[in-house]
Amino acid sequence: MSALSVRSFASFTLPVGLLASLVVGPAQAQPPRLDVPYVPTPEPVVAHMLQLAEIGPDDYVIDLGSGDGRIAISAVQDYGARAAYGIDLDPERISEAQENAEREGVADKVTFEQGDLFQKDISEADVLTMYLLSTVNMRLRPVILDTLKPGTRVVSHAFNLGDWEPDQSDVINGSSVFLWIVPAKVAGQWTLELDGRNHQVELDQRFQKVVGKVDGQPDVLSGQLKGNELRFTFDDRLYVGQLNGDRIEAVPADGAQQGWVARRS
């Protein structure tokens, strides 16, 4: 067959992909472009991450970039999480994680999905785990702050979240582990009803840290959020309150003032 007749046959009867495979062999699947290379978290560090998150039977755990599935599997198997989910861009990691979950007998409670962690809706997580990179953590930070429920625990192996200071951090076998508790949003104007008087309070918030102006006096209130719980001092007294909608109500705590309430104004 002449060169012309080959070209004519190919261009009119064969799809381009098939033609290419006849000429240069089967197309190679492109490896996914990972934002983070695969490096598994050592088992003692996994254990510490999950202990730091204080996982319990109500918790739904999401591991972003789940590798061989060890964090999600252990969350269910060793710490009694209600369910766990892992997402990884690399299909090989997903097959491996699914096999591991089957072998460990937790496949009914642990799900792995191939996909891009930046596309995943993580708002249902009670606990979010990560072993990624600083740059990836920083891209995730606004998503964590704006979409996760107050009180969600975020645990990261090795990499922090920039100037959002962790609520706790530890070093295990030379590896850093960080815990953050997603703070509620309390910035703005409040009326604090205290000892039969109303005070006008303006709260500023930077992550979990809160400072406040009371009746025009700047920085006389300072405190910290742990999820929906706000603990602050004002006038040398301790206040511990729980945010509920547009109210913060006093809750019993050692040495804390009782009988006060703050309402958004």
Ligand X SMILES: C[S@@+](CC[C@H](N)C(=O)[O-])C[C@H]1O[C@@H](n2cnc3c(N)ncnc32)[C@H](O)[C@@H]1O
Residues of this chain that bind ligand X (CB under 6 A): 34-36, 38-41, 63, 65-67, 70-71, 87-90, 93, 116-118, 131, 157
Whole-angstrom Cα distance, residue 193 to residue 196?
7
Neighbouring residues of 158: CB distance < 8 A, sequence distance ≥ 6: 131, 175, 176
Q: In the complex, what is the shortest distance from the CB of residue 164 to ligand X, in angstroms, rounded to a whole number? A: 20
Q: In the complex, what is the shortest distance from the CB of residue 85 to ligand X, in angstroms, rounded to a whole number? A: 12
89 or 210: whose CB is closer to ligand X? 89
Distances 51 to 15, 42, 55, 57, 188 between C-alpha atoms, Å:
55, 14, 7, 13, 35
Q: Is 97 helix (H, G, I), strand (E, B) or coil?
A: helix
87 or 248: whose CB is closer to ligand X? 87
Residue 259 DSSP symbol: S
133 or 145: whose CB is closer to ligand X? 133
**What is the bridge-based pairing of β-strands 175-181 and 168-172?**
antiparallel
Q: In the complex, what is the shortest distance from the CB of residue 135 to ligand X, in angstroms, rounded to a whole number? A: 11
Whole-angstrom Cα distance, residue 265 to residue 263?
6
Q: In the complex, what is the shortest distance from the CB of residue 128 to ligand X, in angstroms, rounded to a whole number? A: 11
87 or 184: whose CB is closer to ligand X? 87
10 or 143: whose CB is closer to ligand X? 143
Q: In the complex, what is the shortest distance from the CB of residue 49 to ligand X, in angstroms, rounded to a whole number? A: 8
Q: Which residue is nearest to ligand X (CB)?
A: 65
